[in-house]
Each structure stands twice: as C-alpha cells, then as structure tokens.
Amino acid sequence: MKIKVKLYTILKKYAKDKIFENSIVVLGENTTLQDLIHYLNIPKKRGVIFLVNNSPEEKEYKLLEGDEVKLFSLICGG
C-alpha cells in the first residue's frame, strides 16, 4: 500500500533513502504508525506526534491506502 509521509524538524534526518519521490512510502497491509516510525529508523525514545489526514492519531492506528501522514518531533528548537 502507498501512503504519503511528511517529516518535520529533526525527524527528516532519520528517513534517508526510505521515502520515495513525492513523499511516497510503500508498506504492507495492517501497518501501524508505530511500524512506520520503526521502518523510518526513528528511535523509540524520540517523541513523535502523528497527524493522519490532518487528524491526530495514536501510534496504534492502522494505516490505509492513500493516507497522508505528518510526523512532528515533540521537542523543537528555534
């Protein structure tokens, strides 16, 4: 299944070579947001906020074909 993933802040550095053109990621069926962050090599200790189709979701959410996922780090500097 194909989903669109956008990473913000420090999270961009973890997913090199995992996100294809136009921010598309190809994953298996029944993949959760937790599975996605593991696939993207984002450490478990890193706090992440998930938005799926612009709505907040928990890490147990099962992704669906065509979902758009935005990932934010809990701590951002400026």
Could you give the dihedral angle defined by the CA atoms of residues 25, 46, 12 and 64, in that order, rounded to the nearest 10 degrees?
A: 20
Q: Does some domain include residue 78?
A: no
The reported pTM is 0.87
Beta bridge partner(s), residue 76: none
Domain span at residue 61 reads 2-73
Q: Does some domain include residue 31?
A: yes
Give the containing element (helix H, strand E) for 39: helix 33-39
Which CATH number does the domain housing residue 56 bear? 3.10.20.30
Mean of per-residue pLDDT scores for the chain: 89
Residue with tokens 């913000």: 8
For 14-43, what is each residue's pLDDT tens digit?
887 777 667 889 999 999 999 999 999 999
Q: Does some domain include residue 7?
A: yes
**Total number of residues shown for the chain:** 78
Q: Does some domain include residue 30?
A: yes
